[in-house]
C-alpha cells in the first residue's frame, strides 16, 4: 500500500481535512466502503446527497522518500472536464456508502505519455466527495468534504 508524505497530501486537502488517497495501476478497478461517524457514533446520511468528482492534475517531482511519496501537484492544461465517480450502496441510516473507481470513465489511453513505465511521476487525479445535508429545523445546511487523490501508473504491460 502506498504511503504518501503528509506534507504532500496537505497540498491537496489542507491541514486536518479528511483525504482518501492511493496509487492505482492503469485499468485497475477498485472501490472503498466508507463509514461516516461522529462523536456519537454512526453519522446517519438521512436526507443527504452524495457526489464525487475527480479531475486530472500534473504531478512533478514524485519521489519515494523515507516519509512516503512526495510530489508537487498542479493544474493540467488544457483544463479537463471533471469526472464523476459512482457512489453506490448508500445506507442512509447506517451512515455508509461505496465509492467506485471505474477507470473506463477516466478516458486514459495506453498511449498516454504519463503511463510510460519510465515516467516517475505517473498521472495524478484530485477531487472530492461531497456529502450535502439539508437544513433541518434550526440546524442550517451543511456539507462534509472528503478530498481524493490518486496516482495512476503503468504496470509495464503494453496494450496495443
Q: How many helices (H) does the chain have, and how many strands (E)?
A: 1, 10
Alpha-carbon distances of 147 from 18, 68, 143, 150, 155, rounded to whole Å: 6, 19, 13, 10, 26
- Pairing of β 142-153 and β 19-25: parallel
For the four alpha carbons of 151, 25, 1 and 42, in that order, the dihedral sign comes to: positive
pLDDT confidence of residue 7:
72
Alpha-carbon distances of 13 from 21, 41, 140, 159, rounded to whole Å: 10, 24, 24, 34
pLDDT confidence of residue 159:
54
Give the C-alpha separation, 123 to 115, whole Å: 7
Cell of 22: 492511493
Q: What is the biggest distance separating any 2 CA atoms in the chain, rounded to whole angstroms?
A: 59
Give the C-alpha separation, 4 to 106, whole Å: 22
Cell of 152: 495512476
pLDDT confidence of residue 29:
87
pLDDT confidence of residue 11:
67
Choose which CATH entry (2.40.10.340, 3.30.1180.20, 2.90.10.10, 2.60.40.1930) describes domain 6-153. 2.60.40.1930
Alpha-carbon distances of 46 from 98, 132, 135, 143, rounded to whole Å: 16, 10, 12, 13
Q: Express each pLDDT in 113-160 by its tens digit.
A: 788 888 888 888 999 999 999 999 999 999 999 999 998 888 777 554
pLDDT confidence of residue 146:
94
Give the global pTM: 0.87
Cβ atoms of 36 and 45 closer than 8 Å: yes
Low-confidence ranges of the chain (pLDDT < 50): 160
Amino acid at each position: 500500500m502506498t504511503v504518501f508524505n503528509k506534507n504532500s497530501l496537505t497540498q491537496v486537502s489542507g491541514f486536518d481535512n479528511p483525504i482518501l488517497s492511493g496509487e492505482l495501476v492503469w485499468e485497475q478497478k477498485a472501490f472503498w466502503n466508507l463509514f461516516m461517524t461522529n462523536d456519537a457514533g454512526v453519522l446517519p446520511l438521512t436526507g443527504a446527497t452524495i457526489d464525487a468528482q475527480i479531475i486530472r492534475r500534473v504531478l512533478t517531482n514524485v519521489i519515494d522518500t523515507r516519509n512516503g511519496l512526495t510530489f508537487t501537484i498542479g493544474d493540467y492544461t488544457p483544463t479537463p472536464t471533471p469526472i464523476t465517480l459512482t457512489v453506490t450502496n448508500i445506507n442512509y441510516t447506517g451512515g455508509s456508502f461505496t465509492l467506485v473507481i471505474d477507470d473506463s470513465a477516466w478516458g486514459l489511453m495506453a498511449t498516454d505519455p504519463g503511463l510510460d513505465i519510465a515516467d516517475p511521476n505517473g498521472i495524478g487525479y484530485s477531487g472530492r466527495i461531497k456529502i450535502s445535508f439539508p437544513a433541518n429545523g434550526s440546524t442550517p445546511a451543511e456539507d462534509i468534504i472528503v478530498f481524493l487523490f490518486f496516482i495512476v501508473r503503468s504496470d509495464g504491460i503494453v496494450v496495443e
